[in-house]
Structure 1
Amino acid sequence: MTSTIGATAPKTIERDVRPFGFRDKLGYMFGDFGNDFSFILQSTFFMLFYTNVVGIHPAHVGTLLLVARIFDAFTDVIIGIIVDRLPSSRAGYKFKRWVKWIAIPVAIASALMYMSFVADFDSYGAKVAWMTATYFLWGSFFYGLVNIPYGSMASVISSNPDDRAHLSAWRSTGGNLANIVISSVLPLIVYVSNEAGVSVLSGQRMMWSAIVCSVLAVICYAALYLLVEERVVENQDIPKEKVGLSKMLGTVLSNRALLGLIVAALLLLLAFMYVGGMIGYLFLEYFRDGRLQSPASFAALVPSLVLIVLAPWLAKKFGKAEVGITATFIGGVIFLTAYFLKIENAAVWIAFYAVAMFCVNVFNFLVWAFITDVIDHQEVQTGHRDDGTVYAVYSWARKLGQAIAGFLIGASLSWVGFNSETAAQGQAQTEEAINGVYFLANVIPGVGLILVSLAILFLYPLKRKVVAKNVAILASRRDGVEV
């Protein structure tokens, strides 16, 4: 039969370079390692720093996160379009060069968000202004300039779906390694006990920890640039068709696979980032020891390192979407069970949390291969890859999920009676607020994960058989055969 849209001539070809291998997987892992030295740091400590150290009302921090992500609807797509339309470098690179250009600026912007001297500003408005300016500089500008090319890069490192599943697993491993450092090691450094014996976040320690994370991020970005090779490139023998912005965005936004993945990603990030942002409050207020966040994060993250091998095997045997549906549903049920049991022993709750997060990470280790499948689907349907634009729209959806999570953390903390002034003074919260924190840390992520499972099941069309069909169509086109 004939393809839906698109010419027989191949739009892309594979460069004659070294074969895909361990070097590419290791380099791509370092990319997310570098990204998450700022991204996970922000999702874990940004709100805590500004509520408990600087003294900003949680609803104001949450509002900033939501407004910034709405703004990103424009900046991310613009970045994606620029990445797609800018000609490749003389060396043939379309995406790697952005990592080289932006690595240092994004690291500096990240560190600026945690300057401890902001707490000494006399004006509340000045504190809010610093928080807003530095967050926009990092999240809405520099982070997008490095993350969108990095995420798009996976689709050109290899055209083989099994290779891409491995890249997704290695990328998630890099993110988990950064998460282990930030969520398991940093709590032992940044939390201290004040004179009243209350566990508090140290502004000075937080600032220096953020600076160290920024330095490590730059080192990781350098490893990504040196180790990864781009193989799938535009066919220079075919004149590039001029496609208007409105038509290009129209085809991207009409991609049902992308829209289904956007809904699932938004819900996943809402659940994942919500529990990540709430866990610090849970251990500080409900279990009364912020340092417990360290063993909890360790228990949740270290076992998932086996997924670097297990996740690609599961994807190959059962299909990425099928595995994601099952894992996220189980994770949601575990969180809801923990709430209804009203666990008071921290070790028992950590055990529930570890199992639930392992389920979440099964999906997280494969999610980046989902987007490469969507990019392939875009080429099958339209004849254009639009890697950067597709990834930019998807990236914005993930950031919107993060923002909604941040907004909900701020709004829901206020709703249950959490007082930032009390926290900044190192005093304990009311019993009502403490119980409310436990409810929020379990029910919101539990419901969110079940909704992720349902979204993949009913809205995302790229199940195992469809992905295999798309790969065959594109392979035939590159061989000069219309299918």
Structure 2
Amino acid sequence: MVKEKLTFRKILERFSYGCGDFGCNIIYTAMSVYLMFYYTDYAGVSSTAVGVIMLISRVFDGVSDIIMGVIVDRTKSRFGKARPWLLRMCIPFAVSGVLLFSVPTGWSSAAKLGYVFVTYNLVSTVVYTAINVPYSALNALMTQDPYERSVLSIFRNLLATAGTLTINTFTLPLVELFGNTASAWTKAFVVLGAVSVVAFLINFFGTQERVRPATKDGKAEDVPFAKGVKALFQNKYWIMMTGMLALFFLMYSVNGGATVYYAKDILGDKDLVTTINGIFNVVQIVGMFFIAMLVKRFGKRNVFALGLVFDIVGMLVLNYSGGAMNLIVVSSVIRGIGNACGGATMWAMVSDTIDYGEWKTGYRTEGLVNSACSFGYKIGNGIGSALLGLILEIGGYVGEAAVQTAEALFSIEVCFVWIPIVVYVCGLIIMKFWHLDKEFSGILADLEKRKTEGN
């Protein structure tokens, strides 16, 4: 167990670490914000059918997450546990993203659904899992210093937000540039996929793994799968984070997927997605530079909870804006601050549960902890995708219609505003039971003692 700060080329390493989530978000944000829109309005696929496919796929995805977590924990190479997978999977990641936005429009409805099922599972179940699970484990393998983990989490979210901003800013203009047809989406993601490869290469070459288990020789044992899973459910903080991540990614899927519908059908201009998300993401990025000071003074839990309050206020401002652009901008600013607080702390809190789990059970399983969290939030994401399609269908949304009914517009508002508010309130309730910030220094001291004594 190494408790050292990232001193060698610290800023560069933090930036390199964050580049991994920049690369992940090239595809994740595209799937959350634009994929349903692409399917319904360009590929001509039923939103309900797609939602069901996404939900079913998340079950497969969850299983593959657990498998990948075990693989990461048992990976032994000169590059460490997690980093080798960043190098191995970066090109397959880009190629699978291109395939996702390449539905053959001339095929029958059944054939197109088959293509969607295969490519969506290729991306989410296989390729995204094989690169995102190792990346998620990397934070806990780079340092055990809680403040440094928070800073790494800040850089992760900074670059993740930059990836989201890149997608929100350039996707529709690229599609327009290439002809605003179904094939234009394929060409756009050839460009964006190449960008993701560069980001993952920076992530791989610019980081180091330093943390070793609390044993005399510092070598990890291969924890039997059954024992590893049992240890997870003895870890109350992991259970809290997994439940919260599932809720949040459900919300991200519903809210993010509804953004383009909200801009197009309620505000009357789909290009306003760039304005709404652009302001939101820029504020989030700027806010990140101030969050580290708050975390150092108040702790991750309190900063995270503060962010939830800002998110709720921002959504309420949006809901009662009456469509006024100035209030929509104000809402984006407030929500950007809220997301800066959450993004700077959430993943560091996941890493802290690894040390708590090792202290509680004697097993240190970075891969399994992160893959099981990933299983939770991907299930939430799948439910969110299905929920988005179901709510739009119930509301009577028709992709080709020039004007939507009042019921369809209300269904969009439910997805974009009210579901997020409910999730934020649930997050505040969960945070009432989070005490790990106060316990963490004692846990690390005890682990260090075990290492010294060889227990």
**Cα distance between partner residues in 2 of 1:481 and 1:237:** 9
Say if 2:105 is the partner of 1:143: no
Partner of 1:294: 274
In structure 1, the gaps of 5 or more residues are 1-11, 195-200
Structure 2 equivalent of residue 327 of structure 1: 307
SS in structure 1 at match of 2:81: coil
Structure 1 counterpart of 2:338, one-letter code: C
**Do structure 1's residue 108 and structure 2's residue 88 form an aligned pair?**
no
Q: Give the equivalent residue in structure 1 for 2:158.
A: 173
Alpha-carbon distance in structure 2 between the residues aligned to 1:350 and 1:14:
43
Indicate if the aligned counterparts of 1:283 and 1:293 stay in contact, CA closer than 8 A.
yes
Residues 233 and 92 of structure 1: is their aligned pair in 2 closer, same or farther, counting only changes over 3 Å? Answer: farther
Task: Output the CA distance in 1 between the equivalents of 2:188 and 2:340.
Answer: 26
1:318 corresponds to which residue?
Answer: 298
Specify the SS of the correspondent of 1:365. Answer: helix
Question: What is the correspondence of 1:331-370 to structure 2 with a 5 Å cutoff?
Answer: 331-339=311-319, 341=320, 343-370=322-349
Q: CA deviation at 1:25?
A: 0.1
Q: 2:91 aligned with 1:99, yes or no? A: no
**Deviation readout 1:297-326 (Å, 9 max, x if unpaired):** 111000111233222221111111111122
1:177-196 alignment to 2 at 5 Å?
Answer: 177-190=162-175
Contact 1:273 1:402 in 2 (8 A): yes
- Are the structure 2 counterparts of residues 346 and 202 from structure 1 closer, same or farther at C-alpha, using a change threshold of 3 Å? farther
1-side partners of 2:308 and 2:236: how far apart?
21
Distance apart, 1:18 and its partner CA: 6.8
Q: Does the residue aligned with 1:290 lie in a helix, a strand or coil? A: coil
Partner of 1:4 in structure 2? none
Q: Where in structure 2 are there 5+ consecutive unaligned residues?
A: none
The 8 Å contact of residues 108 and 214 in structure 1, kept in 2 or not, is answered as: yes
Q: How far did residue 240 of structure 1 move?
A: 5.4
Q: 2:28 aligns with which of 39, 44, 47?
A: 39
Q: Secondary structure at the match of 2:271?
A: helix
Deviation of residue 43 (structure 1)?
A: 0.9
Paired residues for 1:405-420 under 5 Å = 405-420=384-399
From the superposition, tell whether residues 241 and 338 of structure 1 become closer, same or farther in structure 2 (CA, over 3 Å).
closer
Shift of 1:37: 0.8
Equivalent of 2:182 in 203, 211, 218:
203
**Aligned-pair distance for 1:275?**
1.4
Q: What amino acid does structure 1 have at the position aligned with 2:423?
A: G
Q: Which residue identity is paired with 1:287?
A: L
Task: Please tell me the residue identity of whatever aligns with 1:268.
Answer: F
Cα separation, partners in 2 of 1:18 and 1:336, compared to 1, 3 Å: closer
| 1:424-443 matches, cutoff 5 A | 427-443=402-418
Cα RMSD of the aligned pairs, angstroms, is: 2.3
Change (3 A) 1:239 1:317: closer
466, 477, 481: which one pairs with 2:439? 466
Quick check: 344-353 or 51-60, which moved more? Answer: 344-353
Between stretches 349-358 and 146-155, larger displacement belongs to: 349-358
Percentage of pairs with the same residue: 24
Question: TM-score normalised to the size of structure 2?
Answer: 0.93
Task: Note if contact 1:261-1:456 (Cα within 8 Å) is conserved in structure 2.
Answer: no
Q: Structure 1 113/16 Cα, relative in aligned 2: closer, same or farther at 3 Å?
A: closer
Cα shift at 1:246: 1.2
In 1, the alpha carbon distance for the partners of 2:448 and 2:309 equals 34
Q: 1:85 to 1:13 in 2, by over 3 A?
A: same
Query: How much has 1:445 moved relative to structure 2?
Result: 1.1
Residue 120 of structure 1 corresponds to 106
In structure 2, the CA distance between the partners of 1:148 and 1:404, relative to structure 1 (3 Å rule), is: same
The residue that corresponds to 1:8 in the other structure is none
2:43 alignment partner, one of 54, 72, 84: 54
Pair 478,312 (structure 1): closer, same or farther in 2 beyond 3 Å? farther
Task: Please point out which of 400, 408, 423 is paired with 1:448.
Answer: 423
Q: Return the letter of the residue paired with 1:31.
A: G
Q: Distance in 2 between matches of 1:449 and 1:310?
A: 22
Cα deviation, residue 136, structure 1? 0.3
Find runs of 4+ consecutive structure 1 residues off by over 6 angstroms. 14-18
